[in-house]
């Protein structure tokens, strides 16, 4: 088997780099983070796969001693880390025997200096080419199922589920590029990044992020299986619409307009929120939407009302009618939980190939969010168990003039827009945005209003494409600087309704962050924000200004206090939902052989458990399942915790940017790139992520809002 040396690697890689990266100042004393002498990968005991023979520990120790002797003791820590990690990922049956591994390490380890920096620069360039073009292909292939561009053909779903990049990791290991990366840019644990990252230069941070690229060796078949499962779940959710004009009461009357088609759960939730402004039929409409949600959760919903428009349905009593005659029906056969189970089975197959992050839970929290599950749960529990929840609940009851209902977790009355009828806002948005192109054309005005310079606003607009979404909407960022990000929201034949506009402003926040962190960050491997929660924070900041951007002035002198209460209540709700999601995944790992019906029963039981602990004392009613309605539980597993983290970050950023130029501050904060979250927060607002600012401000707001 051939051994690829650095010279051969550079021939394999496409030559040239359009931008020379800054040189690393040579410092004989700098060693990076201190690591323990350990044969474990990230402290986890490495469990060999049955099909893989591991290299002997003694071999790694021999190679480490040889390399230290050759390159000097100042490289000791990086040599030890790189050799141990490369050894844990090396498969002798595929990559070569002990002699070949030893020869590989000897030829390919590079001491710190210009040659290592040159390798980093070339890797950065080539990864941008690979990531960027793979992402572009995925966007284009998934467009028929994501965007309203015509009929979806069966082959479209197959292409949408296919990911050409699924072979990337496998190819990088077989070519030895991954091993060269691991050997020279080893991965640092979350603890190491937190403790030592404050002393790293920007280039050292970029080196550490390159070390995050190859931490596991997942076969392409496993990657493709995960992609297929997620895509199928997303297609299921994206097609889960309820025709609301067919939702009736016991008198056979409907409270919803003809043509209203709402996707679960987002549009159902947003319609429920909008009904707080309806003083005539709002409460009754909310109870019907709530009944629809409960039927979806427990799967007693008739299959004839899911994305179909040919039957009348009374969700409260669960009766179905054709031509005003009640008919028997078939309920959905636990399909919702079948997709969740398929996602679990798919991601669990990756566990054995991820020595540093041996469960999907660890990959989501420790690797992706870069907060431990324990840290996040502690933050959430501190807020949802706060006595302030009961005080805010009492204030909401007073403002509503009635007892709280379970669906009041989505109370929207602290927002100025809640007093404006949805029809009035929709009339204005439809007049303003008849098409996706109209919203795109208005971006420079929106962005300059937020404080961006005209030049910056025009540049950001030029890097964003707006598409009419089949689903509720989403933002899809670019992975290379020559490409554009995509903003997607629902746009009906009469134009963009208020719900679509509100989502569009949210997604614009994502797109602006994506553009800044791709183009304004010094190193490609530092692009982005610490995790998805922080892009959600910017999306919330934009979304909170939707009326302002529509030209509606907020004159309420209590608006700042009302915004605080709105943030607290939104955090309270989504933290409860996230705790359910987290507990469901713990249950799945504890019960890996469960079927879809057992999973459904477990989700319902967990939702009731969380409700009874943290919500029943506030709402005065037990055993509610509403916390299990979120669609992301099904189509984007364990994404939900990112939302409340985003709410907390948003609140702290909002406090910091109050009275300042948003465009300037957003550019400054986002240009930090992908530091670990707490270091990013300290750079942004001088404090780590915490619920304390939210609790303190809520206490003060309650004194002022009556």
464-468/325-327 β-pairing: unpaired
Instruction: Give whichever of 25-34, 257-266, 445-454, 644-653 has the largest mean pLDDT.
Output: 445-454
On whether both 192 and 129 belong to a single domain, the answer is yes
Whether 472 contacts 263, CB under 8 Å: yes
Give pLDDT, residue 91.
94
Decide if 57 is inside a domain: yes
Give pLDDT, residue 54.
83
| Token pair listed for 580 | 């359910």
Q: What's the mean per-residue pLDDT of the chain?
A: 90
Decide if 365 is inside a domain: no
Whether 229 contacts 345, CB under 8 Å: yes
Q: How confident is the model at residue 553 (pLDDT cuts 50, 70, 90)?
A: confident
On whether both 53 and 165 belong to a single domain, the answer is yes
Distance CA 45, CA 40 (A): 6
Three state DSSP letters for 133-171? HHHHHHHHHHHHHHECCCCCCHHHHHHHHCCHHHHHHHH
Whether 12 contacts 2, CB under 8 Å: no
The answer to whether the Cα torsion of 48, 52, 53, 59 is positive or negative is: negative
Q: Given a cut of 60, is residue 30 above it in pLDDT?
A: no
Peptide bond into 265 cis (omega under 30): yes
Distance CA 649, CA 641 (A): 13
Decide if 629 is inside a domain: no
Q: Given a cut of 60, is residue 6 above it in pLDDT?
A: no
The domain boundary residue, chosen from 285, 302, 336: 336
Closest CA to 440 of 499, 494, 485, 492: 485
| DSSP per residue, 637-687 | TT-TTHHHHHHHHHHHHHHHHTTS-HHHHHHHHHTT-S--HHHHHHHHHSS
Give pLDDT, residue 44.
37
Residue 319 CB coordination number (10 Å): 15
- pLDDT tens per residue across span 421-437: 788 999 999 999 999 99
Q: How confident is the model at residue 335 (pLDDT cuts 50, 70, 90)?
A: very high
Whether 168 contacts 217, CB under 8 Å: no
Decide if 661 is inside a domain: no
**In sequence order, what are the residues at sequence separation of 6 or more whose Cβ sits closer than 8 angstroms to the Cβ of residue 72?**
111
| Token pair listed for 700 | 């003060």
On whether both 52 and 132 belong to a single domain, the answer is yes
Distance CA 26, CA 33 (A): 16
On whether both 221 and 289 belong to a single domain, the answer is no
Whether 293 contacts 627, CB under 8 Å: no
Q: Which residue has the higher pLDDT, 556 or 488?
A: 488
Decide if 445 is inside a domain: no
Residue 106 CB coordination number (10 Å): 14
Whether this model's pTM surpasses 0.75? yes
| DSSP per residue, 486-548 | EEEE--BTTB--HHHHHHHHHHHHHHHHHHHHHHSSSSGGG-S-SSHHHHHHHHHHHHTTHHH
Beta strands in 396-500 (DSSP E): 464-468, 473-476, 485-489
The answer to whether the Cα torsion of 295, 300, 306, 312 is positive or negative is: negative
- pLDDT tens per residue across span 398-414: 999 999 999 999 999 99
On whether both 164 and 113 belong to a single domain, the answer is yes
Distance CA 618, CA 166 (A): 47
Q: Given a cut of 50, is residue 462 above it in pLDDT?
A: yes
On whether both 172 and 259 belong to a single domain, the answer is no
Whether 115 contacts 12, CB under 8 Å: no
Distance CA 628, CA 703 (A): 33
Decide if 174 is inside a domain: yes
Work out how many domains the chain is built from and give that number. 2
The answer to whether the Cα torsion of 377, 383, 386, 390 is positive or negative is: negative
| Token pair listed for 350 | 């990756």
- pLDDT tens per residue across span 113-153: 999 999 999 999 999 999 999 999 999 999 999 988 889 99
The domain boundary residue, chosen from 336, 353, 375: 336
Mean pLDDT lowest among 67-76, 167-176, 454-463: 167-176
Mean pLDDT lowest among 129-133, 397-401, 548-552, 666-670: 548-552
Name the strand (E) or helix (H) holding 69: helix 57-71
The domain boundary residue, chosen from 315, 336, 357: 336
Give pLDDT, residue 416.
65
- Determine the average pLDDT of the residues in 669-697: 96
Q: Which residue has the higher pLDDT, 20 or 110?
A: 110
Backbone φ and ψ for 500, nearest 5 degrees, come out as -65, -40
Distance CA 225, CA 222 (A): 5
Mean pLDDT lowest among 96-105, 524-533, 550-559, 697-706: 550-559
| DSSP per residue, 234-263 | HHHHHT-EEEGGGB--TTS---S-TT-EEE
Q: Which residue has the tokens 């929660």?
A: 533
- Determine the average pLDDT of the residues in 316-341: 97
Peptide bond into 9 cis (omega under 30): no
- pLDDT tens per residue across span 178-189: 999 999 999 999
On whether both 165 and 49 belong to a single domain, the answer is yes
Angle at CA of residue 515, ends 471 and 667, nearest 5°: 125
Whether 628 contacts 234, CB under 8 Å: no
Terminal Cα distance for the chain, rounded: 76
On whether both 204 and 273 belong to a single domain, the answer is no
**In sequence order, what are the residues at sequence separation of 6 or more whose Cβ sits closer than 8 angstroms to the Cβ of residue 621?**
406
- Determine the average pLDDT of the residues in 574-582: 98
On whether both 299 and 206 belong to a single domain, the answer is no
Q: Which residue has the tokens 């069966």?
A: 154
Decide if 590 is inside a domain: no
On whether both 80 and 68 belong to a single domain, the answer is yes
Backbone φ and ψ for 154, nearest 5 degrees, come out as -55, -35
Decide if 27 is inside a domain: no
Q: Given a cut of 80, is residue 21 above it in pLDDT?
A: no
Whether 434 contacts 413, CB under 8 Å: no
Report the half-sphere exposure of 543 (CA within 13 A, side-chain side): 22
On whether both 299 and 158 belong to a single domain, the answer is no
Closest CA to 37 of 77, 68, 83: 77
Give pLDDT, residue 653.
96
Distance CA 88, CA 60 (A): 10
Range of the domain at 248: 238-336
On whether both 268 and 254 belong to a single domain, the answer is yes
- Determine the average pLDDT of the residues in 444-464: 98
Give pLDDT, residue 107.
98
Q: How confident is the model at residue 338 (pLDDT cuts 50, 70, 90)?
A: very high
Give pLDDT, residue 35.
34
- DSSP secondary-structure letter at 366? I
319-322/325-327 β-pairing: antiparallel
């Amino acid at each position: 088997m051939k051994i690829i040396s650095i010279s051969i690697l550079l021939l394999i890689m496409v030559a040239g780099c359009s931008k020379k990266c800054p040189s690393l100042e040579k410092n004989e004393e700098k060693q990076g983070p201190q690591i323990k002498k350990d044969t474990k990968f990230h402290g986890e005991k490495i469990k060999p796969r049955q099909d893989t023979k591991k290299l002997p520990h003694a071999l790694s120790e021999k190679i480490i001693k040889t390399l230290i002797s050759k390159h000097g003791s100042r490289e000791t820590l990086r040599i030890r880390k790189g050799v141990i990690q490369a050894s844990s990922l090396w498969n002798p049956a595929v990559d070569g025997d002990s002699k070949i591994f030893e020869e590989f390490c000897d030829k390919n380890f590079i001491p710190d200096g210009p040659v290592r920096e040159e390798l980093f620069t070339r890797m950065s360039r080539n990864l941008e080419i690979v990531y960027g073009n793979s992402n572009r292909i995925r966007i284009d292939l998934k467009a028929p199922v994501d965007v309203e561009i015509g009929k979806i053909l069966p082959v479209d779903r197959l292409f949408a589920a296919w990911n050409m990049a699924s072979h990337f990791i496998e190819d990088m290991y077989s070519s030895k590029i991954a091993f060269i990366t691991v050997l020279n840019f080893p991965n640092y644990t979350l603890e190491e990044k937190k403790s030592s990252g404050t002393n790293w230069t920007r280039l050292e941070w970029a080196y550490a992020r390159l070390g995050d690229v190859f931490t596991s060796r997942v076969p392409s078949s496993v990657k493709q299986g995960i992609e297929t499962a997620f895509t199928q779940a997303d297609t299921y959710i994206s097609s889960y619409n309820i025709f609301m004009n067919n939702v009736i009461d016991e008198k056979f009357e409907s409270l919803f307009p003809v043509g209203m088609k709402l996707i679960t759960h987002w549009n159902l939730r947003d319609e429920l929120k909008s009904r707080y402004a309806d003083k005539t039929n709002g409460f009754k409409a909310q109870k019907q939407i709530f009944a629809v949600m409960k039927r979806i959760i427990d799967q007693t919903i008739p299959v004839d009302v899911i994305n179909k428009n040919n039957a009348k349905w009374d969700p409260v009593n669960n009766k179905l009618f054709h031509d005003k005659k009640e008919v028997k029906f078939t309920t959905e056969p636990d399909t919702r939980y079948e997709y969740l189970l398929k996602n679990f089975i798919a991601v669990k197959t990756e566990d054995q190939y991820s020595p540093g992050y041996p469960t999907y839970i660890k990959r989501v929290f420790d690797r992706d969010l870069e907060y431990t599950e324990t840290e996040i749960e502690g933050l959430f529990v501190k807020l949802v168990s706060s006595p302030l929840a009961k005080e805010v609940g009492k204030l909401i009851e007073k403002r509503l003039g009635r007892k709280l209902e379970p669906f009041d977790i989505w109370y929207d009355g602290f927002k100025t827009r809640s007093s404006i009828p949805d029809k009035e806002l929709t009339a204005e948005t439809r007049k303003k945005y008849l098409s996706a192109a109209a919203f795109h054309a208005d971006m420079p005005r929106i962005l300059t209003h937020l404080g961006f310079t005209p030049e910056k606003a025009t540049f950001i607009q030029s890097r964003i494409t707006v598409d009419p979404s089949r689903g509720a909407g989403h933002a899809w960022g670019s992975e290379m600087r020559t490409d554009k990000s995509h903003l997607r929201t629902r746009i009906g034949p009469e134009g963009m309704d208020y719900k679509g506009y509100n989502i569009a402003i949210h997604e614009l926040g994502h797109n602006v962050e994506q553009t800044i962190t791709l183009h304004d960050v010094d190193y490609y491997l530092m692009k982005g924000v610490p995790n998805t929660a922080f892009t959600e924070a910017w999306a919330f900041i934009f979304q909170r200004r939707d009326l302002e951007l529509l030209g509606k002035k907020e004159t309420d002198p209590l608006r700042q206090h009302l915004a605080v209460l709105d943030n607290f209540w939104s955090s309270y709700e989504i933290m409860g939902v996230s705790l359910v999601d987290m507990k469901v995944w713990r249950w799945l790992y504890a019960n890996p052989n469960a079927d879809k019906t057992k999973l459904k029963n477990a989700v319902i039981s967990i939702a009731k458990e969380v409700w009874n602990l943290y919500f029943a004392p506030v709402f005065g009613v037990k055993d509610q399942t509403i916390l299990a309605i979120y669609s992301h539980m099904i189509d984007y597993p364990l994404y939900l915790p990112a939302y409340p983290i985003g709410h907390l970050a948003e609140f702290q950023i909002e406090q910091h940017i109050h009275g300042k130029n948003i465009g300037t501050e957003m550019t400054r904060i986002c240009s930090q790139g992908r530091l670990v979250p707490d270091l990013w927060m300290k750079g942004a607002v001088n404090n780590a992520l915490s619920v304390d600012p939210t609790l303190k401000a809520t206490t003060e707001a309650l004194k002022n809002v009556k």
